[in-house]
Structure 1
Amino acid sequence: MNGRDCDIAIVGGGLSGGLIALALARHRPDLSVRLIESGGAPGGNHRWSWFATDLDAAGQELMSRFRKTEWDDGYEIRFPNLSRNLDAGYRSLTSEDFAATLARELDDGAILTGRDASVVEAKSVTFTDGTTLTAHKVIDCRGYTSTADLNGGWQVFMGRHVRTAEPHGFTRPIIMDATVDQVAPSGNGGAYRFVYVLPLGSHDVFVEDTYYADRPELDRSALSGRIDQYCHQAGIAGEPVSFETGVLPVITGGDFAAFQAAHRTPGVAVAGGRGGFVHPLTSYTLPIAVEVALAVAEDADLPGEQLAAKLEAHARKVWKSMGFYRALGRMLFNGAPPAIRYRIFERFYGLPEPLVERFYAGKSTLMDRLRVLTGKPPIPIHRGISALLSTSPRLNAAHSKDNS
């Protein structure tokens, strides 16, 4: 390694950093990799989910290494005027299983935990304790950072894993249950609210209360109380096993060139949310993270400067391809009063299932986009047009969880 500690140093052990490390281990085992995580284990306290149709064969092979919960009998959605079962399989991965797989698949000593990076440069990472790790290439995957360069709203949520004494009776995921009260907790302004339910086993269920909110405040007491209420109404009685909370950006526009410039360090490749590799509306980012991880493994021999430039160019391509979803976000936040924002998703879920699958994968066709925007509008036309032309507030507020 010509005096370097490793070939590739990955700073940030979240979804993006961990998948890059795994892809390198699978496709380039000749390279030495260090995955640097500031916390006690890669992945933090998260649950990542995706649809089986989101990944191509290569992506499915990469994700096959992880122990995960799988549902092959489809999923449900529930709205005031629409309930539907859709056929796509669904997958969910916990951070514990994520960390366990990385520990098994990566070389001994490849994962460095409890190491907080203070300076990240093209050939080295300096930690807060003053020590330095040198590398031929450095990839920064430390997650999305709040910025005034982008605009939008927030996805605020609390999830609880409940273990029930008796079988809970749920057999398939409920991706959106928007039949719940649409009033947001105090401090969030307006919001579209839904509950997300994952039956993890006959006696285990994950219930998440979620808001597409104008502001990023997370009222733990209020959300916990609403989960209590939902569980009571759904007949879910048991003890909490674990919980997670989060505040994620819902990006509706902004100056992406300025965002990239603010996160650029010469010669350092940037991936994950920090690099702009996100689905701006849904937060289903795993398919993009898998795609980027495989691309990095394929280009692992590039010098750091070239890899950095290639990932920046790819991020610009992703940003351009996601313009339709940012526009829908503006319609959601700026086009509808909070109490009827659910109508936008309600109408969307009444469309053909292949369109819904491509939407979540971030691969909507031109005909898909026309289909979403035409027909009976879920909000008055003049409000929709005004929203499409509007600008949302800047995303420069603090947030408590990244999904990079």
Structure 2
Amino acid sequence: MSDSQFDVVIVGGGLAGGLTALALHRARPEFRIALIEAGRSLGGNHRWSWFDSDLSEDGRALLSGFRQTGWNGGYDVQFPKYRRTLGTAYRSMASHDFHEGLTRELPASAIMLERKAISLDARGVDLIGGERLDARAVIDCRSFQPSPHLSGGWQVFFGRHMRLAEPHGLERPIIMDATVDQLAPHGNGAAYRFVYTLPLGAHDVFVEDTYYADDPVLDRAALSARIDQYARAHGWQDNAIVGHEAGVLPVLTGGDFRAYQAEIRIPGVAAAGARGGFTHPLTSYTMCAAVENALIIAEEADLTGPQLAALMEARARRHWRRTAYYRLLARFLFFAAEPDKRVKVFQRFYKLRQGLIERFYAARSRPLDKLRVLWGEPPVSIPSAILAMFKRGAPLRPDTQTEKKKA
């Protein structure tokens, strides 16, 4: 096999692409794999967090080689009417630890950084500069592609890792502090907003300001100022900034998924990750699907490229059907609840049983779970909820994701 010939070429070195490469390498170490990433490091600039209950034993084993921060004592949520501690173990991993874990385990020849793919096909990948990588199978793990065939709202976030002069005193993560005001930071009205806090060490804390809004504008200056305000309110005055992350993620309320698949399809190329449609519609969560897909691809490593592409398309369609309930809840959130009252939806949800909440985040809600979420005194009016069932939301067009620039 020549230097430009591979068994599998994976385009996109984020969570889905990196885990797929790792699972393939562990299952078939004799395979020649290429993991292509346009950036300077694998994983970009992100932090991924998940519940321990989200993953199978095989899934936990896949992640075992990465440095993680864990809280076996559970996590807290805070709302205007109550505070609650839930006992589910929680895990978090930074992208630099993801990068280090992959570079430690994968062959050096498998990782191609700062190499941008300009075209993919069933037989290989063309890179900027004219280089061609031939492959038996090609997997597209690039980022989500906004599309007019999908509709919904947005989850906007800005996070900061701070190192404090004095201990912060937190014992557990606060994955949702919704006691903060519910105004959108860019001045376009209200939104469901919460602050997410991870105690990464005695002096290290990660604080992220997140909100669900109709408008995808990311105003870094406003969100950064809100984190400053939150830190001051908790007495975290003297701090050094270790890192930060920011992003805009889709919250799916509906769409024509087959039309979306036709739009992104490259004949004979398997699509995985968020681009392939493997996200939680309401939370934008990708860890469960990324792990499951990586393990499946490794198990089916002998398939040809077109066979693998067909397998992943079928899995994506099943995922879309299986997550219809969460798109319904997203419609209730965006179309039945007034923006400044959306906090009531989550405030009611987090009073439910711990097991139900665990299954919800893993997109494995049982029929009785689904009934229980909707049963009882609703946080939105019945007429509004009925109307929301038939709405789909604004198309997620490629030009809708914007970032407010500094003046």
TM-score by length of 1: 0.97
Partner of 1:173: 173
Partner of 2:5: 5
Q: Deviations over 1:161-186 (max 9, x none)?
A: 11000101111000100000001122
Counterpart AA for 1:393: A
Find the aligned partners of 2:190 and 2:84 in 1 and give their Cα distance. 26
Partner of 1:160: 160
- SS for the counterpart of 1:109 is helix
Find the aligned partners of 1:226 and 1:253 in 2 and give their Cα distance. 32
Counterpart AA for 2:279: V
Q: Which shows bigger deviation, 130-139 or 47-56?
A: 130-139
Find the aligned partners of 1:89 and 1:399 in 2 and give their Cα distance. 34
Partner of 2:191: 191
Counterpart AA for 1:377: P
Partner of 1:352: 353
CA contact (8 A) 1:68 1:92 kept: yes
Partner of 1:220: 220
Find the aligned partners of 2:247 and 2:108 in 1 and give their Cα distance. 32
**Structure 1 residues 2 and 224 mapped into 2: Cα distance closer, same or farther (>3 Å)?**
closer
CA contact (8 A) 1:197 1:207 kept: yes
- How many residue pairs match? The answer is 401
Partner of 2:115: 115
- SS for the counterpart of 1:272 is coil
Question: How far is 1:388 from its partner?
Answer: 1.7
CA contact (8 A) 2:217 2:402 kept: no
Find the aligned partners of 1:130 and 1:45 in 2 and give their Cα distance. 28
- SS for the counterpart of 1:319 is helix
Question: How far is 1:71 from its partner?
Answer: 0.7
Find the aligned partners of 2:16 and 2:305 in 1 and give their Cα distance. 18
Find the aligned partners of 1:148 and 1:103 in 2 and give their Cα distance. 37
Counterpart AA for 1:218: L
Partner of 2:281: 280
Q: Does 1:148 align with 2:115?
A: no
CA contact (8 A) 1:199 1:205 kept: yes
Partner of 1:271: 272
Find the aligned partners of 1:133 and 1:119 in 2 and give their Cα distance. 11
Counterpart AA for 1:242: G
- 1:62-73 to structure 2, matched below 5 A, reads 62-73=62-73
**Structure 1 residues 187 and 270 mapped into 2: Cα distance closer, same or farther (>3 Å)?**
farther
- SS for the counterpart of 1:150 is strand
Q: Deviations over 1:321-373 (max 9, x none)?
A: 10011011001111111111010011000011100000001100000000001
Provide the aligned C-alpha RMSD in A.
1.3
Partner of 2:338: 337
Q: Which shows bigger deviation, 125-134 or 363-372?
A: 125-134
TM-score by length of 2: 0.96
- Structure 2 residue ranges without an equivalent (≥5): none
CA contact (8 A) 2:160 2:245 kept: yes
Find the aligned partners of 1:296 and 1:398 in 2 and give their Cα distance. 33
- SS for the counterpart of 1:387 is helix
Q: Deviations over 1:86-134 (max 9, x none)?
A: 0001111111000001001101210000001101111111112111111
Question: How far is 1:398 from its partner?
Answer: 4.4
CA contact (8 A) 2:183 2:189 kept: no
Partner of 2:37: 37
- 1:255-334 to structure 2, matched below 5 A, reads 255-334=256-335
Q: % of aligned pairs identical?
A: 56
Question: How far is 1:400 from its partner?
Answer: 7.4
**Structure 1 residues 188 and 29 mapped into 2: Cα distance closer, same or farther (>3 Å)?**
farther
Q: Does 1:383 align with 2:371?
A: no
CA contact (8 A) 1:188 1:213 kept: no
Q: Which shows bigger deviation, 200-209 or 227-236?
A: 227-236
Find the aligned partners of 1:400 and 1:107 in 2 and give their Cα distance. 38
Find the aligned partners of 1:400 and 1:98 in 2 and give their Cα distance. 28
Question: How far is 1:399 from its partner?
Answer: 3.6
Find the aligned partners of 1:230 and 1:72 in 2 and give their Cα distance. 26
Partner of 1:369: 370
Find the aligned partners of 1:209 and 1:223 in 2 and give their Cα distance. 7
- SS for the counterpart of 1:317 is helix
CA contact (8 A) 1:11 1:139 kept: yes
**Structure 1 residues 106 and 400 mapped into 2: Cα distance closer, same or farther (>3 Å)?**
farther
Spell out structure 1 runs of 4+ moving beyond 3 A: 1-4, 187-190, 397-401
Q: Does 1:24 align with 2:21?
A: no
- SS for the counterpart of 1:22 is helix
